[in-house]
Structure 1
């Protein structure tokens, strides 16, 4: 009886030491052994991901964001898709004529597709006007639109009911 207690204590001490190091080997009733590690640190959300989460949680009571942010440009419009089973939508992004690159991105939930435009300014060298330019951008969806509402992340307004 004493040897059995000592064996369990050593096993527990070894498991605790492995757990402290971030890796634990688990086994039970002679089954296969599993190795479990610590989870990687969560990825830090950017401005768009935080805004999209806020919209999904607060929908439909959403206010527009204040000011212009390169990661959250308002959309000028969205083209109505031919059917609800499409996996891409075309939006018109309003961006600065000084942006060297621009595009759109989306965040999908069960009932919403939150979309934003983004732009990256050219270097500060040379002249540039602050005129508004608009361009159509195709946004690929992870799953079919299927009746979800399309919402502009910058304004919080519904652009389309899919």
Structure 2
């Protein structure tokens, strides 16, 4: 009797440990076992996504970001699309002359399109001059711009004021 109780305790402990770890072992009528894992944890929002969410929540009372972040670079300029059904905005990204890659990305909400520039340096080692380089980049929108406001994520300012 004691051995049977110990076996059930070990089985229950194993099931509890697997359940807590997000994994379960399933057995059916046969001898086959199948391991099923839980869904991976949701991806943590990056610096730009966090900033864009903050702007959308607190608009229009938004302060500029402090310091300079490679994921949230200020825009030097933006061209207002000629039509409200435009699904593309051209912005001028101000980035480091040492960036080997750069670009712009957007976050869209019902009322706002938040845009930022970004840069990627070749390595963190070595010297880099603090020169500013600017390049035009096209940002594709998921839906037409319509009457939404376009906001620079770094400065928190509206880009096309009437």
Aligned equivalent of 1:94: 94
Residue 129 of structure 1 pairs with residue 129 of structure 2 = yes
Aligned equivalent of 1:5: none
Shift of 1:125: 6.0
Aligned equivalent of 1:151: 151
Contact 1:73 1:154 in 2 (8 A): yes
Question: Given the two structures, how large is their TM-score scaled by the length of structure 1?
Answer: 0.74
- What is the CA deviation profile of residues 48-80 of structure 1, one whole-angstrom value per residue up to 9, with x for unaligned ones? 000000000000000000000000000011101
- Which deviates more, 131-140 or 40-49? 40-49
Shift of 1:129: 2.0
Aligned equivalent of 2:52: 52
- What is the CA deviation profile of residues 80-132 of structure 1, one whole-angstrom value per residue up to 9, with x for unaligned ones? 11101010100000001011100000000000000000001122566532210
Aligned equivalent of 1:69: 69
Contact 1:150 1:161 in 2 (8 A): no
SS in 2 for 1:53: helix
Question: Given the two structures, how large is their TM-score scaled by the length of structure 2?
Answer: 0.74
Superposed counterparts of 1:4-19, under 5 Å:
none
Aligned equivalent of 1:41: 41
Contact 1:148 1:161 in 2 (8 A): no
RMSD: 2.3
Contact 1:84 1:146 in 2 (8 A): yes
Distance in 1, Cα, partners of 2:158 & 2:82: 18
Contact 1:22 1:38 in 2 (8 A): yes
Contact 1:76 1:94 in 2 (8 A): yes
Q: How many residues align?
A: 131
Aligned equivalent of 1:105: 105
The change in CA–CA distance for 1:98 and 1:39 in structure 2 (over 3 A counts) is same
Gaps of 5+ in 1: 1-19, 24-36
